[in-house]
Chain A
C-alpha cells in the first residue's frame, strides 16, 4: 500500500492535485469568505474559459505540436459571439464552423508540408487577431442571452465553475485516455511512425486533434464572452501562454503523447488561484509575475525530483 502511494507514477499524477490543495488552503485561511458558494464562484468562474483553452492547447500538444494562436483565436470567437452570434445567429454559427474548419486545415497543412507548427500558428495568431479587430474595431458588442444564462447558472450545492471544470476534465479523460481511438491519437504524437505502420492515418489524427482544438477554443471564447458580457479584440491574448503553462503544470510534456486532461484542468485552476493568492497576500505587482513564475518552477522542480528518484530506484 505504502509502496503504491510513494510510487513514481502515483506521485506524478497526484502532483497537480497536491499543488492545488497547497494553494487553496492558504487562500481559505487568509480569506474565509472564499469558502462559501458565492466565494468559490467568484474565485473560479474565470478559470472555465482558461480550462477550455488549456484543453485545446493540450490536443495540439498531444500530437507533438504547439499552438501559439489559441489566445487570439479565443479573442476572435469572443468577438463573433458578441456581434454576429447575437445579431444574426445563423451567420454567427456559420462563422464559428468556418473557424473550426480552418483549424482542421491548419493541422493538415502542418502535417502534409511538414511545417513547424510554431511558425504556422504564430502566423495564424496575427490573422485571427486581425479578423477580430476588423469585426470589432472598438470594444463592445453584447453576449447572447443564452450564453450569459449558462455561465451565470446557479447550480444547487456545488458552484457551477467546479461542476464545469469536473465535466471538462472527465469528458476529455474518457475520450483521450480511455477510448481506443484516443490511444491512437496519443500514439500519433509519441511515435507517429509506429502508428502509421500499424495502418492508421497520421494525417487523420492530426486533423482530428486540430479540429478538437478548434472546438474547445470556440467553447473557451463563448464561455469567456458569457462571463464578460461583451468583447474586446485583445481580450484573451494571455491565454496562449496560460494554456501552455496549464498543460505542463498538469503533468503534460512537450514531447507529444504524454498529457493528462484532469491534470491540465487542475493545473489551470492552480494557476488562476495562484493569481488570487498573490493578490490576497498583497504582493506588489512588480513581484507578482516573478512570484507566479516561482510557483511554476517549484511545481516543475518537484516533478523533476520525483522523476529522478523514480529512475534511480
Chain B
C-alpha cells in the first residue's frame, strides 16, 4: 500500500518535472570550479550559486551542485582541482577560470572524459568548452548611447578608467572610445585611473579637476562613481551626470540626489549572479538541448525607474545582483544562435 502510493507520488512529481523540461537531468551532478573568493563580487557570486542551485536540487532538477574554490588564485592549482572534479565523476563543471589558456589541458581532459565544461566571466579558450563571456566594450558603449539621448547637443566628458594594464580596463575604454567616435558631439577632456575603487577615484578626480574646463558628464567603469561625485562636491563644482556602476554606495548617493533635485543618470555593471546563468546553461546542455559554444552575458542596467527596487535588493557594501532563472538561460541561448 505504502509502496504503491510512493510510486504514484513519484509518478506525479515526474510529470511535474517533465513540465519544467528537466526530468533528464534529475540524476546529474554539476560542480562550480572557482579560482578566487576574496572580494565582494565573488562572495555575492558564490552566495547566488548556493541559493539558486540549492533550490534546483530541492526541486529535483539536478542531483547536486557544490561549489569549489581553490585555496590560492593560481592556474596550476585550478587545473588540479578540475582534474579532481573529473575523478569525482561530475557530469558538468561550471568554471570561472584563473587563466584563459593555462587550464586548457585540464579542460580538454574533462571534455574527453565526457564532462561538460561551461566557463563564464573568466572564460577559457579551449574549443570544447562553452563560454559565457562579458562584452565589456559594449558596457562602455551603452554609456555613450545613453548620453547621446540625454545630451543631444554634445558635452565635455571626464573618463574614469579602471586598473591600468588589466584586460577589462582596456575593453571598457575601447567601448567608450568607439562611442565617442559614433557621437562626435562628445569630447573627452580628461582621463584618470580610478582602479574601480571609490577612494582612488576621488583622489585622482580631485587631482585633475583644477585643470579641466566645465565637465558635463563622467563615464566610468563601476566602483568609481561615488568617489567622483565626492570630488566634484569638494571642489565646489556643479555635479555632472555621472554614470554609476551598481555598487551600493553609488546607488544610495543617486537615490539621495534623485529625491533632493531630480538627478537623473544610469548605472551598469555585471551581476555576480551570472554564475547561476552558467548553471542553467550547463543544465540545458546536460538535458541534451543544442547550445551554441559562445554566449554573451546580459548586463545588469539600472535606470531612473527601477533604481529603488534594485537598491532595496542590494546589501550595504555589495553590488546590485540578479539571480537568473532557467527561462533567462533559454533567452541567452536563443539570442546567441
Q: Which residues of A contact B (CB under 8 A)?
A: 31, 33-34, 38-39, 42-43, 45-46, 49, 138-141, 224, 226-232, 234-239, 272, 275-276, 279-280, 282, 285, 288-289, 292
Contact = CB atoms under 8 A, between A and B. Distances in A.
Contacts of B68: 279, 285
Interface string B2-13: 000000000000
B69 A235 contact: no
B239 interface: no
A-B residue pairs, 8 tightest by C-beta: A230-B101, A288-B71, A285-B69, A232-B102, A228-B105, A139-B101, A232-B99, A229-B104
B87 A229 contact: no
Interface of B: 37, 66, 68-72, 74-77, 79-81, 83-89, 99-106, 108-109, 113, 125-126, 167
B37 A228 contact: no
Given A227-B105, A231-B101, A46 B83 contact: yes
B70 A285 contact: yes
Contact of A285 (B71, B84, B126): B71
Given A279-B68, A285-B70, A234 B99 contact: yes
A280 B88 contact: yes
A289 B72 contact: yes
A116 to B, nearest CB: 27
B280 to A, nearest CB: 24
Contacts of A38: 113
A238 B76 contact: yes
A103 B125 CA distance: 34
Contact of B80 (A235, A272, A285, A289): A272
Nearest to B126: A229
Contacts, number: 99
Given A42-B87, A139-B100, A288-B71, 17 more contacts: A45-B83, A46-B76, A46-B83, A140-B100, A140-B125, A230-B104, A231-B101, A232-B75, A234-B74, A234-B75, A234-B99, A236-B76, A276-B87, A280-B84, A285-B69, A285-B71, A289-B72
B37 A235 contact: no
A22 to B, nearest CB: 19
Contacts of B113: 38
Contacts of A46: 76, 79-80, 83
Contact of A231 (B37, B84, B87, B102): B102
A276 B84 contact: yes
A156 B223 CA distance: 56
Chain A CB count within 10 A is highest, among B72, B77, B89, B101, for: B101
A49 B108 CA distance: 18
Contact of A228 (B81, B102, B167): B102
Contacts of B99: 139, 232, 234-235
12 contacts: A42-B84, A139-B99, A226-B105, A227-B105, A230-B104, A231-B102, A232-B102, A235-B75, A236-B76, A275-B77, A276-B84, A282-B66
A108 B172 CA distance: 48
A148 to B, nearest CB: 9
B76 A235 contact: yes
Contact of B103 (A228, A239, A275, A279): A228
Contacts of A229: 101, 104-105, 108, 126
A230 B124 CA distance: 11
Contacts of B84: 42-43, 275-276, 279-280
Contacts of A237: 74
A203 to B, nearest CB: 35
A138 B101 CA distance: 10
